Structure 1
Amino acid sequence: MAESGRGWSLPALAVLCCAAAFLIGGSAVFLGALFLQSAPPNALSQRYRAQLGGIVYPEFEQNWKLFAPNPLQQNITVDARVQTISDTGRIRTRDWVGLTAQDIAAIRHNPAPSHADQNLLRRAWDLYDSTHSAGDGTAVGERGKAAEEYLKRVALQRFGRTAGGERILQIQFRVGTATIAPPAWSGEEVPTGTSYRELAWWPVDEDDYRGLL
């Protein structure tokens, strides 16, 4: 007589069922939050706005809607530079580094560019820009501080803890905006050239590197 197959004990089945229910429930809540965040304003999204924001922002912010958005009409570039301090206490301001240019170089001629190269920096800046005043850079709303930390950490992950062998003290961002030229047949006239906006210097400490590689 062949031996009967090995079965699961009742405690093991209970644990598996609970784990499956937890994973399915968690996935449903997460997908539901993303859907409500992207859907047109409704009673649920208005009532649970704070809870939805806590789930979605900043890591899972969506840049799409259930209806077609307006196409981009400007090219945005983000640069950053740092101030460092030597062992003798000398403070030095480093040259600007084109963060957007790095992403473009990684994407160009790459048949399968990474999602991070395409969207991480761009979305970090979009989040900052949407939560801060264009005039003096004052944070608007509860997400302003989180947006600053997110943008700073995206840049510091590329710089590391040192530049030129010296410890990084501060970081500054510069954003360039250039209007995309219309087709020649349109007859529309747009400003030419790139305008730049510099943010204030932000101090850098060890907490800014928490969890970064």
Structure 2
Amino acid sequence: MNIFRLAGDMVHLLSFVVLVLKINATKSCRGISLKTQELYTLVFVCRYLDLFSNFISMYNTTMKIVFLGTSFAILYLMRGHKVIKVTYDREQDTFRYLFLVLPCALLALLIHNAWTPFEVVWTFSIYLEAVAILPQLVLLQRTQNIDNLTGNYVFLLGLYRGLYILNWIYRYFTEPHYIQWIVWISGIVQTILYLDFFYYYIKSWKNNVKLALPS
């Protein structure tokens, strides 16, 4: 494992820690898209179907369990916690995520590395992760309710993807025959979706003003 992969994993994990701390500290999930959280949970469930059948390393297994556990914990807080769930922006978080899930599923059936159930489902998770942030970005744009912790959460998710791109570049030049077109293209698409947010995040940080996205 190289430094870019490790840093990417830690930043990814930190993004979820920041989100859980925000929800617990404020007893509110206002500004957080439940639809994006459900999509990420679906991503992790599909990607880690081999959790108990394909042991790679203790680090790998631990990270899978942590991401699954954290994702389900966030869903519980937003759906089941009697105080927190009433703060959910249900009327604003209306992105129809079937328009993301169905095309990703179809694409996974058409373009994959091997015609096996595990491979197709894993490929679906790669495609879906690339667009799972869209409901969150749309919600932030609609409500303009972007507190520092929510902004940091989305920024960390984008930074994680940027670090993974550096990881792929490093591996391409250091590992023979390392080519993963599906992962690369999906990751680039995901990064592009964050660019507009990054611009306004950095601009607000430099000017020391509240983050706001153009409506």
More helix by share: 2
TM-score by length of 1: 0.28
Which structure would you say has the larger RCO, counting Cα contacts within 8 Å and 6 or more residues apart? 2
Say which one has the larger Rg.
1
Q: Which has the larger strand fraction?
A: 1
| TM-score of the pair, normalised by structure 2 | 0.28
